[in-house]
Structure 1
Amino acid sequence: MVIVSSSTVAEECFTKNDIVLANRPETSRGKHLGYNNTTILHLSYGDHWRNLRRIGAIEIFSSSRMNAFTSVRKDEVRRLIMKLSRDSRQGHFVKVELKSMIHDLTLNNIMRMAAGKRYCGDEVSNEEEAREFKELMAEIFETSGRPTPADFFPVLKLLGEVLEKKDKKRGKRLDGFMQKLIDEHRSYKIQGIHNNSMIDHLLSLQESEPHLYTDQIIKGFIFKEQSHKLMSFGMGRRACPGASLAQRLMGLTLGSLIQCFDWERVDGKEINMMEGIGLTMPKAQPLEALCKPRPIVDKAFYQGN
């Protein structure tokens, strides 16, 4: 292990010399949650990885595909603004917990793009399916940020077997959930129903190139989504392929929250930035703040309703 503490050297590692760091070790978690280490996240650098990267760049995260889902991003942000304003329209500040709201916004945006469905908040078409999805995501995001000790220290094999058994169970549940979505959209296509989702688009490509767009590759893409001073999405070959989507959604969301509300800290206290456990490095304490809607909210969302 080498610790790089210079931003200049870090930038060089992930741009000019990134091929040296482009491989990924095979892990038990990648085996069970990443289709035997074959998804774009777990796969080592090579021909297959380059092909997956090409599919992501051209067919999923291209500018044209991102533009096609602009209405989805706008609608989810609008729902967030409405939810915040409903509880604070009396002209005074109210305390709100933002972590769960932003979490729901993110999952709904991704799943509406991927499968044309909302799984959080209102207008959820299938409550049982939504509950299963949210449980799976919570488990996977919490555990995926933790390495399995036995992958690095064989002497801990017994402990590794216990953790691997849990990952294997999660992997089967996740695969079953995603396969059900694909089969559902395949049935829609037979019925002539099309909702312009990512799954629909990839299934259309599967018809002409089935060897490139297998069900496994489609499932591997459903849930997988720069400044050298803040490498939130990485850099170079292994940079996150969904960075452009995240930047579009974050810009729209943050801009809307700033424009539509006045914000203050709870009791004037500093925000606790201590990190929690999980793949996305969540805050240990959910973000709470005081918000009060500005007049623009009434003008933009309530006039004429």
Structure 2
Amino acid sequence: MKKNKILGLSLLAVGALGFSTSAFAESAAVQTDGKASFVPQSGNINTIKPGTDEKIDIVDGNNERVTVENIQLMHVPDFDFGNNETSVDTKNYDAIYEHYQKSGDTTKYAIPHFVQVGDVSGVQGTAWAVTVEQDSLFKENGGHSLKASRINIYNQALTNNVQTSNVADVVTGLTIPSDSSVQVPVKGVDSTGSIAVLTSKAGKTDGTTTNGTISSVVFQKDYDESNYGKTDSPALTDKNADVKLNVPQSDGVQAKTYGAKLNWTLTVGP
């Protein structure tokens, strides 16, 4: 019995030795270079539906954009408060939704008003901000002005197409008082000056920079992109209750069409 056990061990040892001998191999390696260089993107950045990467085209509204230091202000909204009845009371009038089309489609959809900025600077930690003020009072062609009427924004939602879970680490929006609104000031009339609507936090890490991303502020509470761009989404004539024109009774609004310009300014650095 002992011989059998010893023989068994000897066979196993020989087998292991034979395997280890055949497993040894010699190798050598050569390294080559991989290389890529980048420059900031030129030309227009495609507007996207906030909260997605879906490319869209704004229709029936503003399509102007500006670029400063490779930061692009891609979209700012018009505010159309529609046709309304005159009143002896102070009134708030909601703004009609913006309209957009999906790329390659002619169907129009409603979407809440939004501001959008694309950062193709190629630099982490770029500081930028978008501000707004009304250029002048609402006025009709005959010269009558609405001296106390102001646009008010009641709610907002922030989105970033890359930093989806930590957008608050990337940008800030309007400073809206709790249970109130922020007023768009009129240049030369209101003492507050322009207000910041979207500002980068100039983070210097991959998780806090806006570099290579698109940021948006949507003027709507609890904005959910899935509610827009489908058959049962709001109608084109529906209104956004989070953007209002407040017209005090003292303004004595006339049965005419009033208009005003808004100045949206992109500032970059330092």
TM value normalised by structure 2: 0.22
- State which structure, 1 or 2, has the greater radius of gyration over its C-alpha atoms: 2
TM value normalised by structure 1: 0.20
